[in-house]
Amino acid sequence: MISKNKKINYGLIFAVITMFIPLIVKDEYQLRIVNIVLLYSIIALSINLIVGFAGQLDFGRAAFVGLGGYWSAIMVVRLNVPFIISFISAGLFCALIGFVLGMLCRRSTFDYLTLITIGFNVICLKIFLNWHPITNGAMGIRLIPSPVLLGFKFDTNFKFFYFALGLLAICSLIINRITHSKIGRAFEAMRDNPIAAAYSGISVANFKVLNFSIASFFTGIAGAAIVHYNNYISPFNYSLDESIYQLQMAILGGLGSLPGSILGSAILVIAPEISRTFYDYRLMFVGFLMIAMMLWSPNGILGKNGIGEKVIGIRNLILVKKNKKSTKKIINHRR
Amino acid sequence: MKSTNINYISPEKVGYFMFFQYLINGLSIGSVYALIAIGYNLVYGILELLNFAHGDVYAVGCFVTFSLILMKQNPILAILGGMLVGYIMNRIVERFAYRPIRFSGRVTPTISAVGIAYIMRNIIMKIWGPETYPFNIGLRGSKIEFGNFVFGTLQIYIFVIAISFMLLISFLLKRTKLGQSIIAISQSIPTSALVGVPVNRTISMVYGIGGALGVIGGILYCIYYQSIFLGIGFMLGTMKAWMSTILGGIGSLKGAVIGALVLGLTESLVGGYVSSLYRDAFVWGFFMIFILIRPKGLFPAQISEKV
C-alpha cells in the first residue's frame, strides 16, 4: 500500500525533474516538442475526466480545443484584449458551450452522446472554415502574440516551457483535487453503474453536465495556450481525426489515471516525430495500439489493472506483506 | 406574377422544377446511403456496437474493385471481387478485434473499432494513395427528359439496384434459417445460444454480409460521382450509415432505408436552398435536434428493451 503522502511526493519529484529539461535539451526543435507534449497533456487530462472518470465517450474534443483557441486569438488580435483576460475567458467560454452541449444531451445515452459530439465537431469545423469575417476561413489567423503575464513575455521555447509546465501543474492539481472530492466520486459511481448511482442519490444527468463543463474549461484553456504558442491558428487542426488522436492519448496512458494522460500524450506526440517513415504509418501504429490496448489492457498503461499495475504488482505484494497488520486492521474496522 | 403564359417559365415555376430536381437527386443519393446503412444496421441491431470501421473496411473492397477494373476485368467480376474482399475482411476483423471483447462494456469495442478504421485507412493510403481517381465502370447514364425534368438513367439504375438488394435482405431475414437466427440473436444472445443457434458463426456472417453490402453501396456512390477517394470510407460511409440508422430506428430494416432516404433528401434540399457551404453543419444540426426530440428514431424495431 502506498500512502497518500508518498503519492504527492512522486508528483513533486516528477515536477522538479521536469523543470530541468530545458537546461539539458538545448535543441530548439526538441524543446518545442516537449512544450507541445505539456500542452497536449492538459487536453488528455480533460478527456480523461470525461472518458476515464465519467465513462462518457466524447469524440469531439478537438472542437473545444478549437473554440478556445479561436476565442482567445480573436479577442487578442481583433479586440486587443490583454492576454490573461482572453486566456481565462477562453476557458469560461468553452465551459459555457460545454454546459449547453451537456444540457442538450442530459438524457441521451451513450451512443447518442458519441454521435452528438461528433456532430458538434463537424459543425464547429465548418464554422471555423467558412465564417470568413471572424475566423478568416482556411487562411487562419496569423501573428497571434505570445502569452504575457505581469509584463513578462513568454516568447521563446525556453521561456514558454515554464509557462506550459506551470499551467499543466495547476490544471493537474485542480483535476486531481476534483477527482478526489465528492464530485469525483460521483463521476466514478456514474461510470461504474449509472442506475446504482442514481439510487444512491447522485443526479446522473446533472453530474454529466457538470463533468462536461469542467472538462471543457480545461480543454479550452489548453487550446488557447497552443494557439498563443504557435502564434497561428488554422481550422484544419480541429478535425475529427485530431479528436480521436487526442482521445487515444487519454486511453493509451490509462483511463482514470492522471499521470497516465501525460505519459500517453508524450508517447503519441513524440512517436511520429522520431522518423518520417514512421509518420506515414502513424495511423496504423495508433490503430494497432488501440486494438492491442482494448484486447489485453482496456485501462491503458497506468490505469486500474493496466500494464503498469501488473508490473508494479510484484512490488506491491512485498509492500502488502509489510503492512499486513494495518490491512487487517482496516478490514476489521470495515466489518 | 400573374403570368399564365406556357412558354414563359415564371420564377415560381423554376423553383418548382428545381425542387423536383433536388428531390430526385436526394432520393438517388439516399438509396446509396440506404445500402450502406442496411449492412450497418444489421450489426448495430444485433450487438448495439458502434461499428466505426464499417466504412473503412468496405472502402478497401471498393478500391480492390477499382484496381480490378483498371486491370480490364469484367465490371461484374470486379464488383464480385470487391464484395468478396469486403466480406472476408469484415469477418477477419470481427474474429480478432470484436469477438474477444464483445461483452466488455460499451467504450472498449467502440475504441477497438476506431483502431480497425485507422488501420484500414492507412492500408488504403499506402497502397492507393490519398488522391481522387476517376471511376468509370462502363455504366454510363444517358439523360431522359420528361417534360422539364431531367433524369439520369444512372440515378434510376442506382435506385433499382438499391431497392432490389433491400428486398433481397428482407427476404433473407424473414424466410431463411440464417435470417431467423439473426433475429433471434438480436433479441437475446444467451437464449439463442441455449436453443442451439450458432451465435459466433451467425454474428460473423452478419458482419460479412454487412461488409459486402457496404462494398456495393460504396461502388454505387463512386459510380454516381464518377470518382473514388479515401473519404468514401469514413465520412461518407460510417457517419452517413450511422446517421440514417439512428434516424430510422435501430435494428429495423425499414427504418434504415427510410432514414437513409430522409438523410439524402435533407442533404440535397439543404444544399439547394439553405447553404451549400454550411450543408454538413446544417444536416448535423438538424440531426442533433431530431435525436433530442425522438431518440428512438422514426421506426424503432419491435424488440423489447434490453436491461
Q: Assess whether pLDDT exceeds 50 at residue B220.
A: yes
Determine which of A67-71, A267-271, B174-178, B247-251 has the lowest per-residue pLDDT on average. Answer: B247-251
Question: What pLDDT does B286 receive?
Answer: 87
Task: Look up the ipTM and state it.
Answer: 0.83
Residue B143 resides in a domain: yes
> How many Cα neighbours within 13 Å face the side chain of A305?
7
- Distance, in angstroms, between A6 CA and closest chain B CA? 32
B41, B271 contact by CB (below 8 A): no
Cβ-based contacts of B281 with chain A (< 8 Å):
122-123, 126-127
Q: Which helix (DSSP H) or strand (DSSP E) does residue A149 occupy?
A: strand A148-149
What number is the average pLDDT over the span B162-170? 85
In B, minimum Cα distance to A54 occurs at B107
Question: What pLDDT does A4 receive?
Answer: 53
* More confident site: B296 or A172: A172
What number is the average pLDDT over the span B247-251? 80
Select from A107, A280, A291 the Cβ nearest to the Cβ of B97. A291
How many Cβ atoms sit within 10 Å of the Cβ of residue B119? 24
- Nearest of B233, B271, B266 to residue B247 by alpha carbon: B266
Provide CB contacts within 8 A for A217, sequence distance 6+.
Answer: A46, A91, A92, A94, A95, A98
Question: What pLDDT does A1 receive?
Answer: 45
- Distance, in angstroms, between B85 CA and closest chain A CA? 20
Residue B42 resides in a domain: yes
Instruction: Mark out chain B residues that contact chain A at CB-CB < 8 A.
Output: 48, 50, 96-97, 100-101, 104-112, 114-119, 121-123, 125-126, 239, 242-243, 246, 277-278, 280-281, 284-285, 287-288, 291-292, 295
What number is the average pLDDT over the span B145-153? 70
- Distance, in angstroms, between B224 CA and closest chain A CA? 24
Residue B111, domain extent: 36-229
Question: What pLDDT does A72 receive?
Answer: 92
pLDDT per residue rounded down to tens, chain A (335 residues): 455 555 556 777 777 887 788 788 778 888 889 899 999 999 999 999 998 888 888 888 999 999 999 999 999 988 888 888 999 999 999 999 999 988 887 777 777 888 889 889 999 999 999 888 888 888 888 888 888 888 788 888 888 888 899 999 899 889 989 988 999 999 989 888 888 888 988 888 899 899 999 999 999 999 999 999 998 888 888 988 889 888 888 888 888 888 888 888 998 888 888 877 777 787 888 888 888 888 887 777 777 666 666 666 655 655 555 555 555 444 444 43
Contact A114 B110 (CB under 8 A): yes
Question: What pLDDT does A275 receive?
Answer: 73
- Distance, in angstroms, between A127 CA and closest chain B CA? 8
- Distance, in angstroms, between B281 CA and closest chain A CA? 4
- Residue-wise pLDDT for B271-289, tens only, equals 888 878 888 888 888 888 8
Cβ-based contacts of A286 with chain B (< 8 Å):
115, 118
Residue B13 resides in a domain: no
What is the C-alpha separation between B180 and A71, in angstroms, rounded? 55
User: Which residue is associated with the grid cell 464530485?
Assistant: A183
Select from B100, B117, B280 the Cβ nearest to the Cβ of A295. B100
Residue B177 resides in a domain: yes
CA B21 to centroid of chain Cα atoms: 22
Contact B281 A55 (CB under 8 A): no
Total number of domains constituting chain B = 1
Angle at which helix A204-230 crosses helix A61-79, to 10 degrees, equals: 50
Contact B284 A57 (CB under 8 A): no
- Nearest of B121, B124, B94 to residue B109 by alpha carbon: B94
Return the ∠ at Cα B275 (arms to B272 and B278), rounded to 5°. 130
B160, B256 contact by CB (below 8 A): no
Question: What pLDDT does A174 receive?
Answer: 92
Residue B280 resides in a domain: no
Largest CA distance in chain A: 69
B55, B239 contact by CB (below 8 A): yes
B211: left (phi over 0), alpha (psi -120 to 50) or beta: alpha
What is the C-alpha separation between A196 and A180, in angstroms, rounded? 20
- Distance, in angstroms, between A48 CA and closest chain B CA? 13
Question: What pLDDT does A312 receive?
Answer: 64
Question: What pLDDT does B234 receive?
Answer: 81
Provide CB contacts within 8 A for A50, sequence distance 6+.
Answer: A56, A58, A61, A211, A212, A215
What number is the average pLDDT over the span B124-133? 88
Three-state SS for B146? strand
Contact A294 B115 (CB under 8 A): yes
- Residue-wise pLDDT for B53-89, tens only, equals 888 888 999 999 999 988 877 888 888 999 999 999 9
Band of residue B169 on the pLDDT scale cut at 50, 70, 90: confident
Select from A55, A286, A295 the Cβ nearest to the Cβ of B107. A55
Question: What pLDDT does B241 receive?
Answer: 86
Provide CB contacts within 8 A for A215, sequence distance 6+.
Answer: A46, A47, A49, A50, A58, A98
Select from A110, A126, A281 the Cβ nearest to the Cβ of B278. A126
- Residue-wise pLDDT for B82-117, tens only, equals 999 999 999 999 888 888 888 877 778 888 888 898
Mean pLDDT of chain B: 82
Residue of B40, B94, B288 for testing the chain A interface, max A β-carbons within 10 Å: B288
Instruction: Give the A:B interface size as CB pairs under 8 Å.
Output: 108
Q: How far is CA B207 from CA A50, A141, A204, B191, in A?
A: 31, 45, 34, 21
Contact B278 A130 (CB under 8 A): yes
